[in-house]
Amino acid sequence: MQSEGKTLARPHGGTLVDLVVAPDRAAELERRAVRWPARHLTERQRCDLELLACGAFSPLTTFMGPEDHDSVCEGLRLADGTLWPMPVALDVDEQTLRAAEARGHLALRDADGALLAVLEPRRAWRVDPLAEATAVFGTDDTAHPSVDALVHRTEPWYVTGPLEVLPRAVAPPGRDDQDLRFTPAALRRHFTELGITRVVAFNTRNPMHRAHHELTVRAARETGAHLLVQPVVGPTKPGDIDVPTRVACYRGLMPSYPAGQATLAILPLAMRMGGPREALWHAIIRQNFGASHMIIGRDHAGPGPDSHGRPFYGAYAAQELVRQHQHELEVRMASFPQLGYVEDTDSYEPVDQVPPGTRVRTVSGTEVRQRLARGEALPTWFTPPAVAAVLRDRFPPLTAASA
């Protein structure tokens, strides 16, 4: 499909999707749904539903149908030409599908049985997980977490149809991070009330280290924008640090930014670790949340090494794909190289720009997790004090833990 397709460009105007029903309709659905077959959503599906319902996945209004799904897999676009690089589909087993088709409704429930939404099944088709994996992630290697999920944990049918969502799906009760949860409309309103017209978004799935902090400071300065730290708190990569610990780290770090110049807002996105496609997807999502700029770094949303120890994607492939489609986006890319710590100057600099022979230090995410698992402290040049305090509490030294 050619690049002159329709543009998705509505970060500061236009109407975002809102699929949440009124309380009286929600009560009616609760009463009726007890008689309908149910799909108990996985954590990924739960996140997809929430972002569909609140408008973060605008212009999508439900899980994708076959034409949109195939078009996205093949050409990064919906069937009408709108730029959209990642499939968002609802998989079900055949028995549940046939029962839902017979009754005309499928109840979408949380793991504890609470009703989240109702889907009217209109279209269904069989899944080809390997074809989707190869098209979207460029590989059938199950070392890629999303390929593994497609091959081993995906039901054989996709289904779509009109969707009605209950309020609890976008405002999960009993969460201690409610103050950080914004719908796109609410976050855009927040920026408008503050008189902010330029916003640079930063995506992360790990506790922020000093290089992240330096990168975000530079991005805000170079774009002249308010900083939006918007970490992903849905499923990410197996082995990642748990969400409550990460959120505590983000909260602890925010006072290090100048007052009024940064906002923390969590994003319940189920990452696919899809490298370049995911980077483009992140940019579109942040556009819906009101960002004018998006930081795309080295190996953005990379899943780590393949089964042969090689990277799945090129280090700057994500930046290249976003740049290729920049003319279709209203959110502008703020691209940065990898930063490393230079001991001689006690500063973070682009690793490919330091003079030859200069010692540059970096720590990988894998090494961070290994150190924490062993109860070892992270180096002070790497970890901001506020983040270190949280991590020391969550991952105490082994000697202290065994005392």
Q: Which residues are catalytic?
A: 204-206
Tokens encoding 162: 């009109």
Q: What does each C-alpha distance from 97 to 12, 113, 164, 169, 302 come to in angstroms?
A: 39, 18, 18, 22, 34
Distance, in Å, from the CA atom of 314 to the CA atom of 138, rounded to the nearest integer, reads: 12
CA 138 to chain centre: 19
Distance, in Å, from the CA atom of 205 to the CA atom of 243, rounded to the nearest integer, reads: 9
DSSP string, 249-272: HHHHHGGGSPTTSEEE-BB-----
CB 281 within 8 A of CB 274: yes
User: Torsion angle, CA of 93/99/103/105, rounded to 10 degrees?
Assistant: -10
Could you say which DSSP state residue 83 is in?
A: B
User: To 5 degrees, how large is the angle CA 30–CA 114–CA 165?
Assistant: 60
Residue 261 one-letter amino acid: Q
- Beta-carbon count within 10 A of 247 CB: 19
Residue listed under structure tokens 């009726």: 32
User: To 5 degrees, how large is the angle CA 388–CA 234–CA 221?
Assistant: 55
